[in-house]
Structure 1
Amino acid sequence: MTEAARAETNAILFPIREVSRATGVNSVTLRAWERRYGLIQPTRTDSGHRLYSAADIETVRNIQAWIERGVAVSKVGKLLERSQAVRPAPVVVGHGDAWGEYRSRFRAALVAFDAAALARLFQQACARHSKAQVFQDICMPLWRELLLRRDEPGHAGEWLLLDAFLRTQALTFLQAGEHPARVVLTALAGHCHELELLVAGVLLGGEDIGVQVFGPGLPLAELALVGGKLHPQAMVLFSNRPPSEEWLAQLKRFALSLDCPLALAGDVCDLIEKELAGSAIARLGNTGPLLHGRLQQFISGHLDT
């Protein structure tokens, strides 16, 4: 590696100490995730020092998120592969990642606790991209980053400001207009944050599908009563938690008691593929285009569960 090439590489890559500082994951753990589980693959300098890209840092944060939800680190690799396989390529402007540039501007507004600037940035982003893209590719990655760091000095207020702002925006979107299709979306207590559920409603819905959100925290027995009164075309349960055997058994019994089809959305879809094989319960996934498209298929009866 020439000196010029090394300088160029070091300008866009980060040493392990910087990654540890940015993510809160100590260097011993980062090395273990690499050597033992193959979860990250940093490049090496001629002297053997590890260098991490921005994509590597994003992967580290995704690993943290899975572990926080109760997933064993030994199972994270397959989940990362699946999520990356369905992830759309980033929008590139010039030589930069457009989503990353947006997130940097959002982050600056949060650091300054400037709610007005946050609102302006959100409106500007929505003028160029769909609300689903803005939530999924700009806002939620930043929200998850701050969620993992909210116990660090200076980050709690930033996370709370962003969380409150995004909940307001998601509710406004979900409550606007009437749509021909009615879908009930909820989550059991402890299975997700409220914002994650609301954003799932944004990603599931659209001009052709109206989503009514309940919860999180609505018991299954109450959900059955809601279904009896609203007569939805489908019910969707959202979860980002690893399911227990008891929960799966309860879910299968609940599906048999409904007059409408039942589907799951969220990260749980990547965790119970084998357990739901052959059942009538559909798995819609956890990313925007996939969620909306599979819900359309599910409602029309064309989705193979």
Structure 2
Amino acid sequence: MEFIDAYVIPGAILFAQMLSILLPLLIAIAYLTFFERKVIGAIQLRKGPSLVGPFGLFQPFADVLKLMSKETIIPSGANKIIFILAPIITFILSLVSWAVIPFDEGIVLANINVGVLYLLAISSLNVYGVIISGWASNSKYAFLGALRSTAQMISYEISIGLVIISVLLCVGSMNLTEIVEAQKTVWFIIPMLPMFLIFFISALAETNRAPFDLPEGESELVAGYFVEYSSIGFAFFFIGEYANMILMSAMTSILFLGGWLPPLNIFPFKWIPNLLWFVIKVSLVLFVFLWVRATFPRYRYDQLMRLGWKVFLPLSMLWVVITASIKIMFFD
């Protein structure tokens, strides 16, 4: 009996910890769609969702019920098994990344020393869900959208990786908690403002958000790689995209905005809980995601690739060299 308890009790605790992250995340994804429509509505001088529940607050749940009640349609020429697996892969990968995200000091599911490497590995796997869905659909438009998205994600992952390397050179660790604690004196957004801008713009491209939503171009691809999906399959892709938006906002907060650390150690700020500071920073970055969507027109694909390869890549490589040189000359 003691042998069974040695495995069951830690497993139950781990499961409870996982639920404490996943349930708030799924609720946050639901209400992010609500606030996106509210923010864009306000920018365009209209109401946005306002009919379902008080102030339209039940709109996300109505959307979920509508999606769940739709018929799942699998194209006759599709590879059925892979077609079903693709959105599941995307959905699962969008959730497992949160295992290493620290919400506060000591509040993290897995405080591993290679947290940054883990996130880069998971983000590189996201390409598989996209390319599999485009190929398995047996549709030229879905396949073109998948190729676009894959090329886009791979191109901007390089810039994101080089920006993260610059941060790691300053900290000397790949542990995300230690990256936050290294910003107690000054947040990295101040000395590394150009890298912050490159990281944020690359995050827009990595998550296929406007103005880089080329894989979903309505005028030529009619929703891109998930054009053939409906019901729960479409919902999984939808959840995956918004979960990745929140993840990239959390990464921006951890790498450049001090994570859960308050801006100044003065009376009005230090009494606010650290977890609340983290939520505020992630929410502010998410607001900029939505603001950008309502403001900027879509890039052409050649402009998107030129920006990634001819502007961001040289700049981020140069910054890595400068950061390493300064560290060697003055701090080693």
Structure 2 length normalisation: TM-score?
Answer: 0.28
Higher relative contact order (CA 8 A, sep 6+): 2
Structure with greater helix share of residues: 2
